[in-house]
Chain A
């Protein structure tokens, strides 16, 4: 359990660093897929099977294919220039170090995160997470589901309008 956590966390972090470090956008996109696979494995490690599978299907599958398709459609070249501007590196380091120290300080001060992994009941015939999430989606959360459906419809229409040759 501990070993798998470190393994997949390292996989996701290395993939994330690859996204930022590689200059070629196609390589960045493939690093992103590695990162998403690591995150999905962590979800499954946390007993979130449905969400882990959705992460692979939607993120590593659909969304990254869309990204790769657009990268190849636009024929994006590697970024020109040897280095990034010093001001960008400095600014990014300051913001990132500030954010990380904020996270570390907040977690050190509070007791929120110091709990260990609680045991789950392993009774026979207990509903699976797919059943539980499905029941919640169609009872307690029926209104957000409708709103999300409307959102997807709006996004579809919006993308078609945006993709026209001549925007009016």
Chain B
């Protein structure tokens, strides 16, 4: 039996982690937990980038363009989390809840 790690291992793992995050977004009702599951999905996609860069080397080195891409993704994710949490805090101030089933009107 061939037990060597192939690119498929990483892609299946990434898909499974993405699916867990997707299930969390659909099932959970707490806005903050939904937001954490979104971050999980983002990280799952990031794994594929690093895996592809490692499995397609250039001159015996990993393809660093994938790493640079991930560097930008992490930066954007940090900004995104800050803005998203600020929106959640503003929403909590207005509605006194973070339960999405109770946030059902567009106008306060």
Contact = CB atoms under 8 A, between A and B. Distances in A.
Interaction A to B? yes
Interface of A: 1-2, 5, 9, 12-13, 16-17, 19-20, 25, 28-29, 32, 35-36, 39, 42-43, 46-48, 50-51, 54-55, 58-59, 62-63, 66-67, 70-71, 73-74, 76, 79, 84, 88-89, 91-93, 95-96, 99-100, 103-104, 107, 112-121, 123, 126, 129, 132-133, 136-137, 141, 144, 148, 151-152, 154-156, 158-159, 162-163, 165, 167
Nearest to B20: A16
Contacts of B22: 92, 95-96, 99
Given A93-B23, A96-B23, 15 more contacts: A20-B37, A25-B33, A32-B36, A46-B10, A50-B67, A51-B50, A62-B78, A63-B77, A67-B81, A99-B22, A114-B6, A116-B4, A118-B55, A136-B65, A148-B76
Interface in B5-25: 5-13, 15-24
Given A70-B85, A107-B8, A13 B50 contact: no
Interface residues of B, number: 74
B79 A13 contact: no
Nearest to A73: B89
Contacts of A89: 27
B49 to A, nearest CB: 9
Contacts of B17: 12-13, 16, 35, 39
B20 to A, nearest CB: 4
Contacts of B87: 162
B29 to A, nearest CB: 6
B3 to A, nearest CB: 5
B67 A120 contact: no
A25 B30 CA distance: 8
B77 to A, nearest CB: 7
A158 B23 CA distance: 30
23 contacts: A12-B13, A13-B17, A16-B21, A20-B28, A32-B40, A54-B74, A59-B74, A66-B85, A67-B36, A70-B32, A71-B32, A74-B89, A74-B98, A76-B98, A88-B27, A99-B15, A116-B4, A118-B56, A120-B57, A121-B60, A133-B68, A151-B79, A162-B90
A135 to B, nearest CB: 9
Contact of A117 (B4, B18, B64, B82): B4
Contacts of B51: 46
A19 B36 contact: yes
Contact of B90 (A5, A13, A167): A167
A88 B15 contact: no
